[in-house]
Amino acid sequence: MNKLYFFYGAMGSSKTAQALMCRFNYMQKGFNVFLFKPMVDRRTLKDGFAVVGSRIGLSAKAIEFDELDDFQTLFKQYKIDQNFEKNVIIVDECQFLTKAQVEQLKLLSFNLPVLCYGLLTNYKTVLFEGSKRLVEIADKIQEIKSVCDCGRKATVNARIVQGKIVTSGEEILVGGDEVYKSMCYKCYYQKLKMDK
């Protein structure tokens, strides 16, 4: 169905793997899938091309965008026919979308499915701009669950520096397990108190 979907979860919840599996399923059914990723995430480049890659080894080439890009313009640039019934957009790391870009994707979702995968909150437990707007206007919102070391549901993306949780600094620091740890709020709160 033509809707705007938002799939969110904490770090390590398999968001990117699920986005890539969704891409495969659509492609297997003959759809043209346009996979987008933000330029701010430069971790995965291959032979000069942007790549969306998951921790379990799945990967695919992607179209990069930055905060100044307009998705209507990107559609024209990549000659994407908005009215072709077998087009799909998938956006990885959608938390880095701007409010305006989420609104552009909402309009595109009138004619084709738009599936966004990303984090809900930053390391300060505050909503990202893109995620906030997705929560406000997405047609369907679904959590992808992951687990804290204690076994509870992980909801916090704690930024760890020299073994301690930090709560100040730039909002965006792209990284994986070397920088972030997904935790439940109880463990986050307890470690935060110990680290002060």
pLDDT for 40 equals 81
Give the CA distances from residue 93 to residues 67, 120, 171, in Å, rounded to whole numbers and listed in that order: 13, 10, 14
3-class state of residue 12 by DSSP: coil
What residue type is 103 in one-letter code?
E
pLDDT for 45 equals 55
Give the CA distances from residue 107 to residues 111, 128, 177, in Å, rounded to whole numbers and listed in that order: 8, 21, 35
pLDDT for 177 equals 62
pLDDT for 143 equals 97
pLDDT for 10 equals 95
Give the CA distances from residue 60 to residues 8, 85, 87, 133, in Å, rounded to whole numbers and listed in that order: 20, 22, 17, 27
DSSP notation for 78-124? TT--TT-TTEEEEEESGGGS-HHHHHHHHHHTTTS-EEEEE-SB-TT
Tens of pLDDT along the chain (196 residues)? 799 999 999 999 999 999 999 999 999 999 999 999 998 866 655 566 788 888 888 889 999 999 999 998 888 787 766 656 788 999 999 999 999 999 999 999 998 999 999 999 999 999 999 999 999 999 999 999 999 999 999 999 999 988 899 888 777 766 666 788 999 999 999 999 888 7
What is the C-alpha R_g of the chain?
17
pLDDT for 42 equals 63
pLDDT for 3 equals 96
Catalytic residues: 93
pLDDT for 77 equals 82
Give the separation between CA 172 and CA 142, rounded to whole angstroms. 23
> Sign of the C-alpha dihedral, residues 170, 171, 176, 178?
positive
3-class state of residue 22 by DSSP: helix
pLDDT for 33 equals 94
User: What CATH topology corresponds to 4-145?
Assistant: Rossmann fold (3.40.50)
pLDDT for 47 equals 60
Give the separation between CA 34 and CA 114, rounded to whole angstroms. 10
At residue 169, φ and ψ (nearest 5 deg) are 125, -175
